[in-house]
Structure 1
Amino acid sequence: MLIGCIALIAAATVAAMVLGRTLGRNIGFVLALPLLAAGGLLVVASAAGPRAEVWPWMSSIGVSFALRLDGLGLLFGLLVTVIGAGVLFYSARYLGRGAHTGFYVLMSVFALAMLVLVLADDVVLLFVAWEATTLCSFFLIARSGAHAREPAIRTLMVTALGGLSLLGAAAAMTVAAGTTRISEILEASFWTENSSVTTWIVVLLVGAAFTKSAQFPFHAWLPDSMVAITPVSAYLHAAAMVKAGIYLLLLFSPVLNDNALWSILLIYSGAVTALLGGIAALRRTDLKELLAYSTISQLGLLVLLIGVGTPEALTAAVVHTVAHALFKAALFMVVGILDHQAGTRNIRELARLNVRMPVTLTIAALAALSMAGVPLLLGFVSKESMFVALLSAPGPEWLAPVITSVAALTAVLTFAYAGRFVIGAAGGRAGRLVGEAPALFWAAPAVWAAAGLTLGLVPALLDPLVGAASSNALGAAITPELELWHGLTPALFISILVLSTGTALVLLRAKVDPVMSRVRFPFHALSVVDSIRASIIGFGASVARLSASSAPRHHLLIPVLSLLVIAGVGVIFLGELPPIVGDPTHPLDWVLVSLILVGTAATVLARTRVAAVVVVGVIGFAMTLWFFWLGAADVALTQLLVEILTICVLVLVLRRLPRRFRRDSVRRRISSLTVAIAAGVATTLGVIAFTGRRELSTAADYYLRNAENETGGANIVNTILVDFRALDTLGELTVLGVAGVAVAALLSARRTITPAVDDTAIDEDSPLANARHNSVFAQSLTRWAGPLTILLSLLLLLRGHQDPGGGFIAALVGGAGFALVYLAAPTDDAARIRWPYILLIGAGIVVATLSGLLGFVDGSFLRPLHADVLGMHLTTALLFDVGVYLAVIGVVLASLNLLGLDRRSRTTRTSGPATSTTPIRTKEGTLR
């Protein structure tokens, strides 16, 4: 049933993609239904008590798609689904006419990620959902316009930092508990037996929650994100994103509420955040910005209560979470209505308008009074519960009165800015008339405001929900009895003091506002974020400058020096080496070494780039022979094919480079020679020292013994790539695809580049001067060799699981065939390889990923499935290899099609018997 809830919201996402353009903004009405249905399913599922569902995910490492519904999950799950449905319903009238597919898809994914987060019973699943909410908020903020780019980036920076903190906590808990299941982690013994691990986990969990829930000093991103449209802000503040941090704190409260560090961090940061947010909200004239700072303040109170950790405090935190969701969703929607009808949300500008919106202002008043903690509303019940809990907080004698005073002062500020909101929203009685919005526009906030009033009058309706959630947060049974009237208690007198003081601040706002406007904080949090960002970028630029050169020596300097340092450390600290096993050398080795030495010397002495390409190829082919000699057929094939394609690419690039190398100064040549000789000596001595001293590793022995039995493949190299370590290969394939797209984008966007000057004169009467005549032999060869090479590549693809071959090698062979066809053509236009290389790259990654998803049939991602068909053993690893083949072919075609001579700079016409005599002017002279 829990997976059904998730499936409903996933279906809403698909519906948004399919129906978005057809239904336009009205699809919000449709999408609200699956969310409401998911909320209903959660209520039905909770009737029988806690419920758990486990689905296979990554079985080999003990990670499952585990879901658990308890009281805490039900509470936050209802906030996610019911508030989310209201926001989508509201969006159908807030948004302008037309299609808003991207917005609705992102909002549906946002709701999906939040629901998975609050139902997750696996820390890996929790982390994935946590990061998904981060990305959704980033995209939702960024899509609001060009002005939202910087706020979106700052939001991503802060919240992604929290994601890394949660990842560290998840890893530490998994190692300490020996499981990824949250329910089992909470019952593990390390929380009390290993204080050092617990301390690190506390710091990491608090860091994650504070960044998500905008607690000091990570609070700056929340007001900054108000550039997002109102539905996004309403959902983000009321039920998503910021509530994720509160949920995380409540989730781990049972094992940490007695931890001193946990309590100190939460109480002090919560108190500071509550006061800072309240003061900042009272200084704002933008209603939406005022609400943003009020959220920071209210979240600070929640964190403070969780830090106190008593049954009363956790109950108050749960009640206030519900109250905050209701009044904050309603208030943000009211701001959107005002902005839509009046064209502004600024208090000063609204004061110059004749606002006649009785329904909207009534909703605003009810929601704001609940936020202010006025009797008869749910906000009053939660504030009363909060004061009761804080007055009895454990700890030093001074703690309870201090934190109660902080909460009371925050409540005064809350009443003051709530009054500021209502008075500001009411506007004036002169100027342009602002009429009431349509009923469908204010329907959703009206429901939330009415819910706050109803639950305030009859708070006992929340007893089952609050009791179950607070019991989970405490780790023991709690039976709350929520009441509107508790009698004449100290909490009531504090409330009376708060209400009277807050009323005075509202009545004296003409004198209070100038005082508040002069309040200045010693630093601006956004400036700190920007400074950190600028420092990171500056550091990256400094690192990049070390290699930002076209001179190879600058790129090679760091690895060569690192090699020398490693060699020096090895000589000093390396102990006695194991004895040599067998005879590690053979006469043919020295022949190949000599060939490589000759090629290296020829490369150094080469004066033209063509000569350097040729002799470098000799070195590559010598290495290929060596791999073959050592029995590494797959490695040798890969080396050979990479060498061929590299030479092809170099041939295409040579046309853009000067024919000869520039001569370096004697001093530079001596220094380069010294470093090169030192690196060569260190490498040679290291190879001689270690050759023959390593026995077969445990991993290699395992692959040799078990690869064929477990995978059905006799080619151990291929089985390692597509079976045992398929996830690594998929990651490398994705990186290759991204690199191919980047190369295609850069080369497609390049400006016209003229060929470099060639200092050799070509006789225009020579057959070599005409490309079409000169390529006749290559074209004749290519007619049969090109297709044959591609067919050979398909054969290598199909046989790769049993014999040398596989997706990568097959793609390189196919790429060599395409390169042969391309190089035989006289011009770019005549090279008829115009396949959609970007589509091939994307298709390859998709096919490889889908083949991995098939593994869930057997319980795990990328687990190969096997079947015998007509006497042939087939496996889904072949599909994975097909994905590799397509992606690599796409990258090769992208390079071949885009590295050729740009038609805008081509000077040779191939239609006539001789070349064109149109000159090309370059920086170095004139070339015909």
Structure 2
Amino acid sequence: MSLLHVLVAVTLVVALAPVLARVMGRSAGWVLAAALLGCAGLLASLHTPGERLEQVVPWIPSADIMLSLRLDGLSFLFSLVVLIIGAVVMAYSAGYLKEQTPSAFYTLMTFFAASMMLLVLADDIVLLYVAWELTTLCSYLLILRSSPEAAAPATRTLLITVGGGLCLLGAVATLWSTTGTTNLTEALSHPAWSQDPVFAGTVAVLVAVAAMTKSAQFPFHSWLPDAMVAPAPVSAYLHAAAMVKAGIYLLMLFAAAAANSPVWSALLITVGLITTVMGGAFALQKHDLKQLLAYSTVSQLGLLVVIIGVGTPLAMLAASTHVVAHALFKAAAFMHIGLLEKRFGSRHINDLWGLARSTPWDSAMIILAAASMAGVLPLLGFVSKELILEAALEGPSGWLVAGILTLGAVLTVGYSASMIFNTLPGSVVSEPVREGTRPMVVAIATTALGGLILGLAVPVLEPIILPSAAVAAGVGADQVGYLALWHGVNTPLLLSLVAVAGGVGLAMWVRRHLELVERPLLPFTGVQITQRLLAGTIAAGRRVGDLTRSDAISVHLGIPAVALGIGAVLLPLTWHGMPGAQRTEPFDVVLLCVVAIGLLAVVTARHRLTAVLSTGIVGFAVALWFYSLGAADVALTQMLVEILTVVIMVLVINRLGRRMLATPGRRRRALTALIALGGGTAATLATLTLTGHRDLSPAGEYFLRNAEADTGGTNVVNTILVDYRALDTFGELVVLAIAALSIYALIQARALVHEPTPTLRLSTLADPYANAIFLTTFGRVLQPVMIVGSFYVLLRGHNAPGGGFIGALVGASALALAYLSSASDDSRWMRLPYLAIAGSGILVAVGSGLLGFADGSFLRPLHAYLGGQHLTTALIFDVGVYLGVLGVILAAVRLLGRDQPAVSATADSVLSPSTVHPADTAPPADVDGGDR
């Protein structure tokens, strides 16, 4: 058993979640809860207090990035919080959810747990960053799917937390470049932290800001209350064990190293004090219990940030203890709010009186949770609060920091007591709903009683808490201290009594003066500021875009042409003289003349079809030129792309009309001619300047010399695409699939139009079946040959000109021929599921990449020999490229070539080859078969 096995186990839980949800419905929460607890048991079996367990699996070895995992005291503590609280929330969800098949919910929640596990176990800074962004994505999707009104809050949450992710990315880049390693342990122990104050300060600030966005610290706090549109299980997990705890974990992880910079402690203590007081004040104002708890989380997280900023071993002991206490009482409180919604249909204080009589057990549990949050003896929250106050007194500016924390504690007691005073007393308002709530009651009781039991028996937590504090403080476990419920009468206890007394008095005052409390403290809210910043950014971007926004193609072509001409001014600085004399081939002269004639035809064309065909002439001439120079792969690609480009452009022209727009005036023609001549001259001079003066590049020499030995292939072009730089090719494949989706979305959003065409009666041109008789006859022979040839080109690509891209172009050309020779827009070839084909290409490519892990790296080709024949998984990857390219071309032809669904049935019946014959009545005026 290893750490990787634990991660695999959690990943399997994610994979099983949608299956279990479909089979068992919401009751799948019980099974998922047991699975997460099982993962926690596996992790506990690997952990030995005070020892460190490591595992390294190759991930991207070429960049020295590994799947490095680490289990120490700090990661073990947070792993248990993630898994155990996750299990409780899963069980709670079995009673809370209304969906009959909540596949998406359970999948996202378990994926949230898996992402957090990867984050806290990561021992590589790149892996840490990837896991960090996965938690951001999970929280966004969970908030977004909660209701139709959740889009705006989810977007604001995403923008704030992604901004923090960019700061973390900056810290990762700075760490990597300075320390020369991505290993987290080595980077944190590097001498640069103590020797380079600029480096230490930069990384400290970037990490602190990243953590503060995740943990909702001022001024990034607004997203947390804004995210309360999410359902209770999401809020409970997000606040108690997942999203916000990621920021706290990051601060504790970097605390020992970042403490070398004085800005670290000052920044954390200042921001944390502001946040804890501000959050407590805002929580007191709220009558919506969920909003109250949201701001209380902001306040409690500020408390943790302050004590991490203090940074002493005692402070880290306090922080580790409060992480556990906060997870228990916050999970219980949020789940209790969900239970109130289920039982009474409301979570507003004014609607919830007499809960002590109507639901005595539930009321007892929320009293325990609120008491732990307020730090009342003998709850675990009391232990952590005493440690926090004691550590603050011993830290920098001790009495000042402790005094402000005491004020924050007064506010904490105040809003905790308000939850009790304003809901439990009085007569019963309504009869509670009890059906189906047992899982919720069990989950709440587990966490609420957990805070009581662990408070009374707090020494049992020492094997978990002390190693965590030691790792965060960078000291031995014997230097941290110990845990006890009672430390005698001391200053922290006296401050606690002041906080309790002041908080209860404040809660009583709030109860009598609710009308005063409802008044806003400020004329604006954090959400309003965030929304205005978002709107202002979009408006500014629109204004910048207006500078170049135009539907005129000439504008978009003119900008790079002008830029190229301006760049030509610098060419004399790099001029090395004319390239060495080479013999001019007559064939080159012929091709140059063909290209010049084609270009002249393009710029003088008055009909779009003429311009398209002339462009094709230029493209074919260039393809022949490539072939004459020995670039067979490039020539084949160019030729096939030209064929398909002409087909697709003709389909587009069918919607635009045959004639060009009005001829521009002389001044405009002169200007465009000047730009074109300038750009062409600059390109020619650049070619003469930059070529012919050096030998083959070192990279080119390496590929030519080593390609066959490294990959087993002799086609260097193909081996570069599918072996050496397969990840780049995979990215391009994804872009192609997105292009297919974009074409689909665009045409679904904007209906296609037809250029009015004249009706040709009693003519062969009017009948698509007769009009395409040559293509139909020719295609019956050529299409099967082209399809088989496309597979042949695919299979031979590793050792001869060809490959997945070229093979797909050949296959797509065959299907385009079948389409053009069909009497109907809805031929059987065009009914192929183009989006599924493109998507399957990505899946095949990913699958071949995963096979590479057998040799230590994603997308690393595996090689084998069968009967003397060389086999490689690069061929599987090339199949993915084949499917992806074929899918996007099919999408373009299918979507651009057919009528909209509303008219397709009529068109199909008119154009059916079984019903249309040359002598019959002409087709309707809106059907134009002659274009094909």
TM-score of the alignment, normalized to the shorter chain, above 0.5: yes
Cα shift at 1:515: 4.0
Q: 1-side partners of 2:111 and 2:808: how far apart?
A: 36
* Structure-2 change in CA distance of 1:246 and 1:376 (3 Å): same
Secondary structure of 1:840's counterpart equals helix
Cα pair distance change 1:725/1:513, threshold 3 Å: same
Once residues 47 and 430 of structure 2 are traced to their aligned partners in structure 1, the CA distance between those partners, rounded to angstroms, is: 52
Partner residue of 2:413?
Answer: 415
The Cα offsets for residues 341-379 of structure 1, whole Å up to 9 and x where unpaired, read as 011000012138896111111010011011111121111
- Classify the secondary structure of the residue corresponding to 1:151: helix
**How do residues 488-499 of structure 1 correspond to structure 2 at under 5 angstroms?**
488-499=489-500
- Aligned-partner Cα distance in 2 for 1:763–1:488: 104
**Residues 515-914 of structure 1 aligned to structure 2 (within 5 Å):** 515-521=516-522, 523-545=524-546, 548-571=549-572, 574-577=573-576, 580-581=579-580, 583=582, 586-662=585-661, 663-748=663-748, 750-751=750-751, 753=753, 755-758=754-757, 764-830=761-827, 832-902=829-899, 904=903, 909=911, 911-912=916-917, 913-914=919-920
1:188 aligns with 2:178: no
CA 1:839–1:116: 2 relative to 1, 3 Å: same
Give the partner amino acid of 1:372: A
Q: Is the 8 A contact 1:546 1:554 kept in 2?
A: no
Displacement of 1:161: 1.4
Q: 1:200 to 1:593 in 2, by over 3 A?
A: farther
* 211-220 or 200-209, which deviates more: 200-209
Q: How does 1:285-684 map onto structure 2 within 5 Å?
A: 285-351=287-353, 356-394=358-396, 399-426=397-424, 428-434=426-432, 438-477=437-476, 478-511=479-512, 513-521=514-522, 523-545=524-546, 548-571=549-572, 574-577=573-576, 580-581=579-580, 583=582, 586-662=585-661, 663-684=663-684
**Structure 1 residues 577-624: Cα deviation after superposition (integer angstroms, max 9, x where no partner):** 378456386554343333222211111111111111111111111111
CA deviations over 1:245-301 (Å, ceiling 9, x no partner):
000000111111232111121111111111111111000000011000000000001
SS at match of 2:248: helix
Offset at 1:778?
A: 1.1
Determine if the alignment matches structure 1 residue 118 to structure 2 residue 116. no
Aligned to 1:206: 208
Check conservation: 1:355, 1:434, Cα contact below 8 A: no
Work out the CA distance in 1 between the residues paired with 2:676 and 2:574: 27
Counterpart of 2:67 in 1: which secondary structure? strand
Contact 1:347–1:427 (Cα < 8 Å) also in 2: no
Structure 1 SS opposite 2:422: helix
Alignment of 1:16-27 (within 5 A): 16-27=17-28
Aligned to 2:61: 59
Cα deviation 1:110-134 (Å, max 9, x = unaligned): 1111111111111122111111111
Relative to 1, partners in 2 of residues 1:585 and 1:348: Cα closer, same or farther, differing over 3 Å? farther
Query: Residue 895 of structure 1: CA displacement?
Result: 1.6
Decide which of 244, 254, 272 is 2:274's aligned counterpart.
272
1:914 shift after superposition: 4.5
- CA spacing shift, 1:384–1:818, aligned 2, 3 Å: same
Instruction: Report the residue type matching 2:424 in the other structure.
Output: A
Rounded Cα–Cα distance in structure 1 between residues aligned with 2:102 and 2:866: 48
Contact 1:581 1:695 in 2 (8 A): no
Question: Is this contact kept in 1: 2:123–2:184, CA < 8 A?
Answer: yes
- Taking the aligned partners of 1:895 and 1:415, their CA distance within structure 2 comes to 64
Q: CA deviation at 1:798?
A: 0.6
Deviation of 1:748 (Å): 4.6
Task: Give SS of 1:738's match.
Answer: helix
Q: 2 CA distance for matches of 1:900 and 1:310?
A: 71
Contact 1:354 1:431 in 2 (8 A): no
- Contact 1:223 / 1:289 at 8 angstroms: preserved in 2? yes
SS in 2 for 1:96: coil
Identity, in percent, stands at 46
3-state SS of paired residue (1:252)? helix
Asked if the contact 1:463/1:480 (under 8 Å) is kept, the reply is: no
- The one-letter amino acid paired with 2:408 is T
Distance 2:245 2:473 in 1: 18
Evaluate the alpha carbon distance shift between residue 585 and residue 135 of structure 1 in structure 2; reply closer, same or farther with a 3 A threshold: farther
Between 1:906-915 and 1:811-820, the stretch displaced more is 906-915
Cα separation, 1, equivalents of 2:257 and 2:354: 55
Q: Secondary structure at the match of 1:864?
A: coil
Q: C-alpha root-mean-square deviation of aligned residues, in Å?
A: 2.2
Q: Is the 8 A contact 2:354 2:423 kept in 1?
A: no
- In structure 2, do the counterparts of structure 1 residues 97 and 785 end up closer, same or farther at CA, with 3 Å as the change threshold? closer
CA shift for structure 1 position 752: 5.2
Specify whether residues 210 and 763 from structure 1 end up closer, same or farther in structure 2 by C-alpha distance, changes over 3 A only. closer
2:859 counterpart SS class? coil
* Residue 446 to residue 431, structure 1, CA distance change in 2 (3 Å): closer
Aligned-residue offset at 1:406: 1.3
1:234, CA displacement in angstroms? 0.3
Determine if contact 2:721/2:729 at 8 Å carries over to the other structure: yes
Shift, 1:47, TM fit: 2.3
Structure 1 residues 544 and 796: CA distance shift in structure 2, 3 A: farther
1:246 alignment partner, SS class: helix
C-alpha distance in structure 1 between counterparts of 2:330 and 2:201, whole Å? 34
- How far apart are residue 143 of structure 1 and its match? 1.1
SS of match in other structure, 2:722: helix
> Deviation string for 1:153-199 (max 9, x for gaps)?
11111111112221221222122222211111122122122222222
Question: 1:880-911 deviations in whole A, cap 9, x for unaligned?
Answer: 10000011111111122222141627776561
Amino acid at match of 2:710: E
Taking the aligned partners of 1:404 and 1:589, their CA distance within structure 2 comes to 84
Tell me if the contact between 2:578 and 2:688 (Cα under 8 Å) persists in the aligned partners.
no
Distance 2:748 2:279 in 1: 50
The 3 A distance-change label for structure 1 pair 616 and 72 is same
- Distance in structure 2 (CA, Å) of the matches to 1:530 and 1:384: 39
Q: Is the 8 A contact 1:584 1:692 kept in 2?
A: no
Say if 1:356 and 1:435, in contact at 8 Å, map to a contact too: no
1:167-178 correspondence runs (5 A): 167-178=169-180
Counterpart Cα distance in 2 of 1:168 and 1:451: 40
- Tell me the amino acid that sits aligned with residue 457 of structure 1: L
What is the distance in 1 between the residues matched to 2:415 and 2:760?
87
In the alignment, structure 1 segments of 5+ residues that lack a partner are: none
CA contact 1:355–1:433 (8 Å) conserved in 2: no
- Which whole-Å CA distance do the structure 2 matches of 1:512 and 1:274 have between them? 23
Asked if the contact 1:360/1:436 (under 8 Å) is kept, the reply is no
Kindly tell me the number of residue pairs found equivalent between the two proteins.
914
Deviations 1:38-84, CA, capped at 9 Å, x for gaps? 11222221126221122222222212222111000111011001111
> 8 Å contact 1:338–1:425 — kept in the other structure?
no
